[in-house]
Amino acid sequence: MEARRIVLRLIRWGAVGVVGLVGTVFAIQALVGPVTYSGFDREEAAIVRSAVERFERANLDLPLTHVRRAQFGERCSPRGKATNSRPIRFLQICSVQEEVVVHELAHAWAFVHLTEENRHEFALRRGTPTWRSREHPWMDRASEHAADILTWYLYWSEQDGPVARIAGDVSVEAYLADLSWLMAAGEQPRATEILASRAAELAPMWVATASQ
**pLDDT at 201 (0 to 100):** 86
Cross-strand bridge partners of residue 81: 92
Query: At residue 182, does pLDDT exceed 90?
Result: yes
Give the range of the structural domain holding residue 140, as residue numbers without chain letter: 114-212
Within this chain, do residues 141 and 156 fall inside the same structural domain, yes or no? yes
**pLDDT at 77 (0 to 100):** 75
What average pLDDT does this structure show over 115-127? 98
**pLDDT at 211 (0 to 100):** 43
Within this chain, do residues 125 and 102 fall inside the same structural domain, yes or no? no
Q: Which of 48, 83, 112 is the last residue of a domain?
A: 112
**pLDDT at 15 (0 to 100):** 45
Within this chain, do residues 155 and 76 fall inside the same structural domain, yes or no? no
Within this chain, do residues 107 and 5 fall inside the same structural domain, yes or no? yes
Within this chain, do residues 101 and 1 fall inside the same structural domain, yes or no? yes
Amino acid at residue number 93 = I
Looking at the chain, the whole-number percentage of residues with pLDDT higher than 90 is 68
Query: At residue 3, does pLDDT exceed 50?
Result: no
How many domains is the chain partitioned into structurally? 2
Q: Which carries the bigger pLDDT value, residue 163 or residue 191? A: 191
Within this chain, do residues 172 and 135 fall inside the same structural domain, yes or no? yes
Within this chain, do residues 95 and 127 fall inside the same structural domain, yes or no? no
Query: At residue 188, does pLDDT exceed 70?
Result: yes
Burial of 25-51, coded b for 16+ CB within 10 Å and e otherwise, reads: beebbeeeebbbbbbbeeebbebbeeb
